[in-house]
Amino acid sequence: MIPKRVMGVETEYGLTTATTTGAPSSLTPEDAAQRLFKRIVEWGRSTNTFLTNGSRLYLDVGAHPEFASAECDSIADLVAMDRAGDLIFQSMVDEANRRLEAEDMPERIHLIKNNVDSAGNSFGCHENYLIRRRRDFRARVDSLVPFFITRQALTGAGHIRKQPGGAVYEISQRADQMWDAISSASTRSRPIVNTRDEPHGDIEKYRRMHVIVGDSNMSQTSTALKFATTEMLLVMIEDGVIMPDLKLQDPMRSIREISHDVSLKTTVELENGRMRTALQIQREFAEAAHNHYDRQGYFADLDDTRSAMVTLWIEALDRLEEGDLDSLSTKLDWIAKHNILERYRTKGGLSWDDPRLTRLEFAYHDLSPAAGLATSMEKQGLLESVVTEEAVHHAIDNPPATTRAALRGRFVKAASEARRDFMVDWMNLRLLEADGARTVILKDPFSPVDERVDELLEQV
């Protein structure tokens, strides 16, 4: 039986404003952010709050709105929660824009789910995986670096990269922003895996693997594939399997070279001197994972979403090696976006430097149902969905039922409705009363039931 695993995604959104008149906007990013969070501040008295679905909503450094999903032990729940975060923020945008219109202001706020702004500043999409505490953590994570570097061939979001010789289209938005393979820093060196030890659980049993190399995905399939493939390798590690020896001679050079070649034919050098393409490296990891699951009988334990993604891992590599990108255009972000941009570019005889292509690229990531390209494509079936629209809307107000998030969500809902003062973080539920605080510490991320929380809710 495959052990349960808790996972989560943190998404930083780009915030921009435009005017209905075409004139420059007078709203600074900070002003726009405060308007965006006005309802949240009125409700929770802060720009940092936990919601009834167990997730965290807050304003990060640099006026970046951020959504950190509740703990999920299913890929389907995680995809639904990620998309619910988009809809929650878009509802905040809609409300802020209605207020701007009521004040006769021409500015309108847009949230962009991407990783690079027009000035070249980068903001992230972080993946969190709870893993068992091991003494050889660093060595095990180090063995996954080649996987994360080459995974962009499947899960990149695509990007128009400006350069002195002319702009070009590349596979990943984050590839050119990474400066280290593994580090405890998160912004200074911007590593692929951040090793800061914050398990948000029993520190004797768990630690968190914090992956910050991935792109923000609009495609539900890309999001699901990103987490499902990584989870397979973590299962192997915790089963004691040694990863394929694919360490790269120069990881940071490799991640850039792979991203810059949309043909995926570029080879990178391994430490042992061998030359391999990104697809060849991915295939070695994929085949090792599939062989292990087959030997252990794990395929019988997979739910429908996981089963579809582990099958797609091999099938996508086959299609990419054959050069059949069109067959993946409804699944993988970088291909879907490239097709749109390339058709527009060819029809208009444009170069990749043309600002109209840049605007079209941003439109792909715009959360607005009116202006957002990917959102529109999903509704038309041009981007495949992994979860139903009903599941997404359910996740807006409800936490996953099978993890600790269920307890947090129940407490936030009850305390909010009762107008009680409370404080919440990933591990602590705190009811504030005149004679002090009543606190319950939730060390087990896997448990959706706790008698102490039931007692706390009775007090509420």
CA distances from 179 to 81, 120, 128, 214, 254 (A): 30, 15, 20, 14, 12
Active site residues per annotation: 60
Find out whether 14 and 126 touch, Cβ atoms under 8 Å.
no
φ/ψ (deg, to 5) at 138: -60, -45
The secondary structure element, H or E, covering residue 438 is strand 436-441
Q: Is the dihedral of CA 181, 185, 186, 189 positive or negative?
A: negative
- Specify the amino acid at residue 133: R
User: CB within 8 A of 209, min separation 6: which ones?
Assistant: 128, 129, 130, 131, 141, 193, 234
Q: How far, in Å, CA of 316 to CA of 251, rounded?
A: 23
Q: Could you tell me the two tokens for 94?
A: 């809609």
User: CB within 8 A of 251, min separation 6: which ones?
Assistant: 145, 146, 149, 181, 192
User: CB within 8 A of 386, min separation 6: which ones?
Assistant: 75, 76, 79, 220, 221, 223, 224, 305, 308
The secondary structure element, H or E, covering residue 235 is helix 220-238
